[in-house]
Structure 1
Amino acid sequence: MDKPTEIFDREYEWSALTRFITDAQPGATLGVVSGRRRQGKTFLLDAACRAAGGFYFGATEAADAESLRRFSAALTDYSRPATPYHFAHWSEAIDALLALGAERPLPVVIDEFPYLAKVNPELPSLLQEAFRPLRDQRTASRTRLLLCGSALSFMGKLLAGNAPLRGRSGLDLLVRPLDHRLAAEFWGIADPRLALMVHAIVGGTPAYRREFARGDSPADMADFDDWVVRTVLNPETPLFREARYLLAEEPDLRDTTLYLSVLGAVADGNATRGGMAGYLERKATDIAHPINVLEDAGLLRRDADVFRENRPTYRIAEPLIAFYHAIMRPVWDQLERPGSANRVWQASRRRFVSNVLGPHFEQVCRDWALHHAEHDLFGGLPARVGHGTVHDPATRTGHEIDVAVIGVADHGKAPLLAIGEAEWNDTMGAAHIDRLRHIRDLITRAGRYDTSQTKLICFGGAGFNDKARQAATSSSELHLVGLPALYGRN
């Protein structure tokens, strides 16, 4: 299938859908497509149906009988049978979908499947029965049924453990937000510094530019403040309340008060379970459940400390939610008053840099090290990239490492390929390099990792001074990575 020109990138996703949909082997197959809202899943699947002449049905929040009537009407409109469909049960509807693929591979999409399963919990079991390997209706069909949903907590359990559909799916596709490089291209921003500042607020969600900001992108650095005021902090735009709606749309988050508080604690710098519990004045056991639910919903991400596995930290996975909790939620009443956005933003700039931009820059550096850096930079393939705290016995203090690149263990200790420090606003110099060397010595003495080939990397959002550049020129173990390199524009 030829990808429509109006779909930006999504080459990987389109190729996966193409292979699944055009597979000529006999027998109906089932696939699952998931991803957070606003990532373009519906746009992608609707385009795939149009390209292959398939059937698309978008479910809505409705009673089971009403959804079945809507489905009957939609399938009637698509296939034009001699008499209109009036399905009495979903098993009949599923068999009708299998009959569509009698002559050729045909995509069939049920979008927002969680809406249907919420009011009719037996639907996954009905699909399990319909896709039984030796069932005649399945073997005689080449329907490529795709179930799509935005509720990650639900979709993640659809194929897990003892779920009815486990083992029945031939595709499990997660549509992710665009990474920082693709997001910059999508927003049309050539300046790497401006691109990262925008990405720290809206992330890589395509709909935020096209529908929510109506194509409004900051023209240059001088326009950034005005852009924030006229889009994200403007009560008249959809972006203003989007972070609140993202939480409300998750079906497993019934009472959102505690979940909002947990996210607020993380946004305020309390990244550990103990820190969150102390911030909320609760026991750590009291917040275990909301943390797990937020993780399942894809809103909170658990990052293990690479030097202390039993001390994980948490970060908010969606930049817009992090921005909302750090900047908007504390002064929500003021922001709702027309004309207050500019005053609020000017007072919040320092908090934006420290609580939003700085941590986001560190995460982009880790993503770059894992997904974009050349392997010869590290001398090996990264197995994982994280952060951590290294204990200094002499001073009884801990040294934080923003980027730690761990290689694949080969008959011994795992190699520590690189450690790095990320500074957004400070020009990096000799002191940063000396600090990294000292931390590497501490790690060597601890003996957990092989540090014989460990590289030192300085990630500088504000650049590097002459001493740092001279040191990098004279040493093969030291590398300076600026914003242009992060965006592939060296």
Structure 2
Amino acid sequence: MLKPETMFDREHEWSELTRFATHRGPQPALGIVSGRRRQGKTFLLDAVCEATGGFYFAATEATEPESLHQLGSALARYLGEPVPRRFAGWPEAIETIMTLGAGDRPLTVVLDEFPYLAKASPELPSLIQRAFDPAGRRHAGAIRLLLCGSAQSFMSKLLVGSAPLRGRASLELVVPTLDYRLAREFWEIDDLSLAFLVNAVVGGTPAYRREYTLGDTPADREDFGPWVVRNVLNSSRPLFRESRFLLAEEPELRESALYHGVLAAIAEGNNTRGGIASFLGRKSTDLGHPLTVLEDVGMIAREQDAFHARRSTYRITEPLLTFYYAIMRSEWSDLERPGHATEVWERSGPTFASQVLGPHFEQLSRTWCRWYAAPDTLGGRRTHVLSGVLPDPAGKTGHRLDVVVFGRDAGGAERILAIGEAKNHAVVGEKQVNRLDRIRDLLVQRDPRASRQIKLLLFTGYGFTPELRAVADSRDDVELIDLERLYRGD
């Protein structure tokens, strides 16, 4: 099936959904579609139903009788019946859905916002399980049932452990946010430095480009600040409260004050469990549950230190959340009063540079190494990319590395391919390459995974000195990566 012309990218997602929806065979099939809110899941599923003549039902937060009434009304409209279907309960509704298809012609059925239905009717997954068991399938048509939801923790648990639907699904599709390269294309921004600035604030969520800003894109670098003021710091625009809504919409986040505190601590640079605990004035052991829940709902990611297996750091995965906790939360009372947004933005410049742009540029540098850099650039094929702090007992200090690229040798043993430093708002020169030279020497002495062949990577969003460019031209082990290479090269 042809992908709709209005759909940006999503080639993989469209391919998987259409393969599932058009699979020939008399037996029913179950698919699970999840992903954070505002990523275009509904648009995708509605388009699949439109292309296949399927039935799409979007649930709302309602009681069981109301949900069944809404389903009956939607089904009657789909079938061209004059009066709504009336269901005595979900067993009857599921039985009706499973017998919609005729013969072996596949029919797509989408139950969107499935967590709303299951919240009011906890037995629903078990009823669907029964419909897909051998006895239930004998009476079912060639239904291609897709359950979709944005509650990440709930959707991820549908198919794990002893969950009723474990082993029943033929598709488990997660719709991700657009990465920084795709986001630039989606926003249609040619200026790479401007694309980076916008991505650092709103990330790759498609809805923020159109619905939430009405297509308002910064005209140039000078318009970036005014764009933030009129779209993100403007209390009359939906992006202003979006970060708060993201937390409120997750059913797992019950003790909201604690979760807000954890995210605020990470946004301010306290990215270890001990640092977060100190920021909140709590014991480190008290944070296990909230950190796990925030990971489960996809708001933070835990990343292992490159040199300490037992040490981890946390980062916020949604740029808009980082921007909110770094810039907006402490200024909320001023921002709610019209006319103060420009003043808040002007005094937030240093914080924006250090707590938003700096960490975001480091993450983009690691993303580039993981997915876009060529093997020749990294000194081999990478397996994973981390950051870390290398201890230096002799110097009684630790050396932070923004990028550590790992691969494997011919025998399968892990080795370090490259190390790197990322500086967004500084001209990078010989001082930085000399630092990496010293760290590499230390690594060779201390880590059996290291060798003299480790590549040295220098990232900048600002520029390189002529002296450093001359060094890079004369050495095969030094790679310079600017915004042009981050966005368009390998």
1:409 and 1:70 map into 2 onto residues whose CA distance is 59
| Structure 2 SS opposite 1:94 | helix
| Structure 2 SS opposite 1:247 | helix
For 1:125, give the aligned amino acid.
Answer: S
Alignment of 1:106-255 (within 5 A): 106-137=107-138, 140-255=140-255
| Structure 1 SS opposite 2:130 | helix
Q: How many residues align?
A: 489
Cα offset, 1:134, TM superposition: 5.0
Please, what is the CA RMSD of the aligned residues? 1.4
Bigger Cα displacement from structure 2, 232-241 vs 23-32: 23-32
Partner of 2:259: 259
2:59 and 2:218 map into 1 onto residues whose CA distance is 36
Cα offset, 1:82, TM superposition: 8.4
Q: Does residue 314 in structure 1 map to residue 280 in structure 2?
A: no
Cα offset, 1:160, TM superposition: 1.2
For 2:391, give the aligned amino acid.
Answer: H
Would the aligned equivalents of 2:424 and 2:462 in 1 still touch at CA under 8 Å? yes
Bigger Cα displacement from structure 2, 434-443 vs 347-356: 434-443
For 1:397, give the aligned amino acid.
Answer: T
TM-score using structure 1 length: 0.97
Gap change, CA 1:101 and 1:116, over 3 Å in 2: same
1:448 and 1:229 map into 2 onto residues whose CA distance is 51
Partner of 1:388: 388
1:429 and 1:172 map into 2 onto residues whose CA distance is 47
Alignment of 1:75-474 (within 5 A): 75-80=75-80, 84-103=84-103, 104-137=105-138, 140-408=140-408, 410-411=410-411, 413-474=413-474
| Structure 2 SS opposite 1:158 | coil
Would the aligned equivalents of 2:131 and 2:137 in 1 still touch at CA under 8 Å? no
Cα offset, 1:19, TM superposition: 0.8
2:77 and 2:221 map into 1 onto residues whose CA distance is 51
1:196 and 1:98 map into 2 onto residues whose CA distance is 47
1:342 and 1:184 map into 2 onto residues whose CA distance is 25
What are the superposed Cα offsets for residues 21-58 of structure 1, whole Å, 9 maximum, x if unpaired?
11113310000000110001001110110011100000
| Structure 1 SS opposite 2:99 | helix
Cα offset, 1:447, TM superposition: 2.4
Cα offset, 1:423, TM superposition: 0.4
Cα offset, 1:417, TM superposition: 1.1
Cα offset, 1:452, TM superposition: 4.3
What are the superposed Cα offsets for residues 166-185 of structure 1, whole Å, 9 maximum, x if unpaired?
10001111111100011011
Partner of 1:59: 59
Gaps of 5+ in 2: none
State the identity as a percent: 55
Would the aligned equivalents of 2:74 and 2:84 in 1 still touch at CA under 8 Å? no
| Structure 1 SS opposite 2:488 | coil
1:123 and 1:55 map into 2 onto residues whose CA distance is 19
For 2:297, give the aligned amino acid.
Answer: A
For 2:43, give the aligned amino acid.
Answer: F
Cα offset, 1:84, TM superposition: 4.6
Bigger Cα displacement from structure 2, 440-449 vs 223-232: 440-449
What are the superposed Cα offsets for residues 89-129 of structure 1, whole Å, 9 maximum, x if unpaired?
21221122221222311111000000011111111111111
Would the aligned equivalents of 1:362 and 1:422 in 2 still touch at CA under 8 Å? yes
Cα offset, 1:460, TM superposition: 1.0
1:327 and 1:136 map into 2 onto residues whose CA distance is 54
Would the aligned equivalents of 1:98 and 1:137 in 2 still touch at CA under 8 Å? no
Gap change, CA 1:279 and 1:82, over 3 Å in 2: closer
Bigger Cα displacement from structure 2, 170-179 vs 436-445: 436-445
2:309 and 2:100 map into 1 onto residues whose CA distance is 51
Would the aligned equivalents of 1:413 and 1:450 in 2 still touch at CA under 8 Å? no
Gap change, CA 1:410 and 1:282, over 3 Å in 2: farther
Cα offset, 1:80, TM superposition: 3.1
| Structure 1 SS opposite 2:242 | helix
Would the aligned equivalents of 1:218 and 1:227 in 2 still touch at CA under 8 Å? yes
Would the aligned equivalents of 1:268 and 1:355 in 2 still touch at CA under 8 Å? yes
Would the aligned equivalents of 1:99 and 1:137 in 2 still touch at CA under 8 Å? no
1:141 and 1:179 map into 2 onto residues whose CA distance is 39
1:380 and 1:158 map into 2 onto residues whose CA distance is 39
For 2:119, give the aligned amino acid.
Answer: K
| Structure 1 SS opposite 2:156 | helix
Q: Does residue 19 in structure 1 map to residue 24 in structure 2?
A: no
Cα offset, 1:453, TM superposition: 2.9
What are the superposed Cα offsets for residues 402-459 of structure 1, whole Å, 9 maximum, x if unpaired?
0111113653641211111000011111110011111111121112414343111101
2:165 and 2:223 map into 1 onto residues whose CA distance is 50
TM-score using structure 2 length: 0.97
1:48 and 1:221 map into 2 onto residues whose CA distance is 39
Cα offset, 1:208, TM superposition: 0.5
Cα offset, 1:83, TM superposition: 7.0
Bigger Cα displacement from structure 2, 32-41 vs 129-138: 129-138
Would the aligned equivalents of 2:76 and 2:82 in 1 still touch at CA under 8 Å? no
Cα offset, 1:156, TM superposition: 1.0
2:374 and 2:5 map into 1 onto residues whose CA distance is 30
